[in-house]
A and B are shown apart, each in its own frame.
Chain A
Amino acid sequence: MVAVLTAQRLLAVAGTALVVVGLALGLRAGFGDLLTAPSLEQQTRLVAQQLRCPVCVGQSVAESDSTVANEMRAEIRARLQAGDTPADILASFEQRYGAWIINHPPATGWYVIVWAAPFLAAGAGAFALGRYLARRRPPDSAGPDPAPGDTPGAAPPVSAEVEQKLKDYL
């Protein structure tokens, strides 16, 4: 019996290890080439995504096909190559076009609200729910509520009819 259990457990561990290693190696084999440092184009895109295209509707510089966006991308690329950090580049665009050009409000000043609101709402929701549930909790719910005349552990008497019907629903 003991031997069987150990063999089973061994199998489980071995299976787990196999799944894990297999998945990881598979991913590595498939995408090893993508795990290297992001290409210049990719870095450019990450910056361009944060800038609004000045002449289009609802698109960022990364997505737009317009001439302006193309020029802006070229500038970002060139400055990244020259060693500027993304923050520097964003700041200079902001200076030129105003705060409007930044796609997402910086998390400073009043804008903190925009960033924090969803999490505050989730927190407030969880708090309100907790309060509500605590209020509704039956007073005897500290442990398993024992039904009158019930001895824990004993299988309750079940009518044959109910038992029979339950089989249909299982």
Chain B
Amino acid sequence: MPTVGYALIIAALVLTAAATVAFSAGALRRREDWQRLGRFATLLSFGCVTVAALLLLFAFLSDDFSIRYVALRSRYDQALIYKIGAFWAGQEGSMLLWLWVLQGYSAYLAWTTRHERRPLFPLAIGIMNSIGVFFAALMVFTANPFATLSPVPSDGEGLNPLLADPYMMTHPVGLYLGYIGMSVPYAFGMAALWLREPSDSWLRVTRRWTLTAWLLLSIGIFLGARWAYHVLGWGGYWDWDPVENASFLPWLTAVAFIHSSMVQETRRMFKGWNMALIIVTFMLTIFGTFLVRSGILSSVHAFAESDVGHWFMVYIGLMVAASVYLYMTRRDALRDEGALQSYTSKEASFLGGNIVLLAAAFAIFLGTVLPLITKLFGQELTVGSPYFNRVTGPLFFLMLMLMAVSPALAWGRTTVKAMRRAFFVPLLGSGLFGLLLAVLGVAKVPVLLGLTAALFMAWILVAEVLRAAQARQQLTGEPALQAAWRLMNRNPRRYGGYIVHLAVVLVTVGVTASQFYQDEIVQTLRLGETMRAGNVELTYLGLDTNARPDYTSLYATLDVSYRGRHVTTMYPEKRFYPGFSEREGPITPAALRITPLQDIYVRLGSSTPDGEQAVFQVFVNPLVFWIWAGGFLLVAGTLFAVWPRAADVRADTRLTAEARVFARLRDLEYDYRMGKLEEGEYAAAKQALTAEAAAVLDEQRQAEARVEAELRQRLRGTVAT
């Protein structure tokens, strides 16, 4: 079986290489037959990788310890879900998962676009296959997941206990699906660049891919934070660890890309900038995989260390060189058509946000690679969370303010009167709120600023939606609720985005509160003694052990009561994993009581053998719940934005030009009705757009007439013969 698996990966290498060549050459030479060959090779390579992946999965399920990868990560009595999850717990399996997902995406695209005539599609899928070549080569030459062990051990070593956690089983999958999803817009961008395609069709084709990839990346990051929160046991969820940063970096640049691509679509600006952003984003996903898998930086998450590092270095270097070459030689195709009318516009706020996001990404990148850079000059320096917090804090505050004002701004130019009306009450209200907080005893300036900004932002968002619904009501005469619902559904990207912004408000509140008002108590309790933590009392009731299949647990029983009433029981524990705890000590996951206002987070410290006394480390973490709530809201908002609707199918394929010009007319109409635009500017813009719309409709009519005439002619021809 190992031989078959390895052979399948070699076959995948050959097939992805063949697909790369066939697709690229077929696209550039317009040869249908070569493209067919490429499609065939892509589908077949996906088949090979799928079988290889299933083989590895089967090896885990059947405890085949002759395979080294399995022997190092599984044991006979490992729980079933961890036998499955161990698949991606190491480097080789992760590479296989990468290739599998990537070829899945490629095969899906190759199949669904098989009737597509434009060369953009085959070229883009060819580029995706070229990425597959790298991962297949990595496995063939240095990281073979099917490498064997001899003699065959009687039992495997088992999964690293830190990883044996449901969140850790899902978190890497989310990250990888997101990372790899970013290769789709990247490949289409590069293909458009190669073909000097002046239009922004690559953006429209990949819009949904980008948003979905970003969503999956977000889910992966949230799950990772949740894992760190209860397993690593230092009371927090985010520590600016290199691996956490590596997942956050492409997330930030993708946010920038998502926003600035909207500017390109509506205002025909920033073509080059968008191209650069997607290149950077994709490179950062490869860099992220590299950081996690190379062990080049020390991290609590880097569970697979090896020598694939220089392969990644060379690959990243090559990709950057190729992307920059394409970009520089095709700059003329990236010239902007539009220009910025005014700084008081939606597009200006998007661009400002882009700068801030990139500055934050730059700071995080710098802090992450600082040890690597400084090592070259002698003394190695690292920066920890204080650096990241202090540098990104002001930038994120700036970001919040931009996010707050942006919804109230119109495309083009917003009138001063409209801004005064939109900002005055929210600013006054949130300012008063901040003042009141200060009076009530919140003395920390970052907290005051963060909470005030969050309220300001939420306020404007809600007011803006209400105002737009009101405008719609006036335009259409629909009842209020129907108007609001239809408004959101006609522009799901904008209103889905607003929901995501509300999620950011929740996360901001949660992060600010828990960062600055965490409390920690370390106390020794005798049997029956009680301690106070936050708003609850904890009573120590006893110590016990519990033998589980994969570990022995030493756990304490704590009664939790709120105002004298019993609410729940907590069991902080130490887990002793045989074969692991002798070297690394026991694992002490936290016992958690999560409530919307505060989490009680308890870890078991040292204890006397008779259980007479035990030390407890208790964190009181205010509002952490809001972070997870924000995560759910973010998912909901993004799903709202990407969810396919009947109207999109129409807009995406047949009537693209029409849909675009009418979307701009619609935005203009709303901006005007909501009093954001100067009368004269509205009239001028309306005239220009109406003329454009009329021209588009006219052209459509002509095209339809041409098709009809041709059909008639052919029909007549067949009737005649």
Contacts and interface: CB of A to CB of B under 8 A. Distances in A.
Do A and B form a real pair? yes
Interface of A: 12, 16-17, 19-21, 23-25, 27-28, 30-35, 38-39, 41-42, 45, 49-50, 52, 57-60, 62-63, 65, 99-100, 103-105, 111, 114-115, 117-119, 121-122, 125-126, 129, 133, 136-138, 141, 144-147, 150, 152-156, 158-159, 161-162, 165-170
Contact of B662 (A57, A136, A169): A169
Nearest to B523: A41
A169 B659 CA distance: 8
Contacts of A103: 382-387
B384 A165 contact: no
B383 A155 contact: no
Given A65-B585, A133-B339, A144-B684, A39 B380 contact: no
A34 B669 contact: no
A168 to B, nearest CB: 8
Interface string B371-406: 000000001111111110011101100000000000
B519 A34 contact: yes
Given A23-B433, A118-B362, A58 B683 contact: no
B683 A50 contact: no
A12 B341 contact: no
Nearest to A125: B355
A159 B694 contact: yes
Contacts of B428: 16
* Residue in A27, A62, A153 whose Cβ sees the most chain B Cβ within 10 Å: A27
A27 B437 contact: yes
A146 B363 CA distance: 44
Interface stretch (B39-47, B117-125, B202-210, B232-240): B232-240
A136 B391 contact: no
The 4 A-B residue pairs with the shortest CB-CB distance in the complex, in nearest-first order: A152-B680, A103-B384, A118-B363, A122-B359
A39 B520 contact: yes
* Residue in A28, A52, A159, A170 whose Cβ sees the most chain B Cβ within 10 Å: A170
Contacts of A138: 339
Interface of B: 232-234, 236, 239, 241-242, 297-300, 302, 336, 339-341, 351-352, 355-356, 358-360, 362-363, 366-367, 370, 379-387, 390-392, 394-395, 413, 425, 428-430, 432-433, 436-437, 440-443, 455, 472, 475-476, 490, 513, 517-522, 534-535, 585, 588, 597-598, 620, 622, 658-659, 662-663, 665-666, 669, 678-681, 683-684, 686-688, 690, 693-694, 697
A63 B384 CA distance: 12
A118 B387 CA distance: 12
A24 B351 CA distance: 34
Nearest to A119: B359
Contacts of B522: 41
Given A103-B384, A111-B381, A169-B659, 5 more contacts: A17-B432, A31-B622, A165-B697, A166-B666, A169-B665
Nearest to A37: B443
Contact of B425 (A12, A145, A159): A12
Contacts of A42: 518-520
A88 B680 CA distance: 65
Nearest to B430: A20
Given A103-B386, A118-B362, A158 B299 contact: no
Contacts of A161: 694, 697
B455 to A, nearest CB: 7
B434 to A, nearest CB: 9
Nearest to A103: B384
A117 B362 contact: yes
A162 B697 contact: yes
A144 B345 CA distance: 14
B688 A147 contact: yes
B340 A136 contact: yes
Given A52-B382, A147-B687, A20 B359 contact: no
Contacts of B241: 58
Contact of A41 (B443, B521, B535, B681): B521
Nearest to B684: A147
Contacts of B297: 58
B646 to A, nearest CB: 12
B437 A117 contact: no
A140 B451 CA distance: 42
A69 to B, nearest CB: 10
A111 B678 CA distance: 49
Contacts of B687: 147, 150, 156
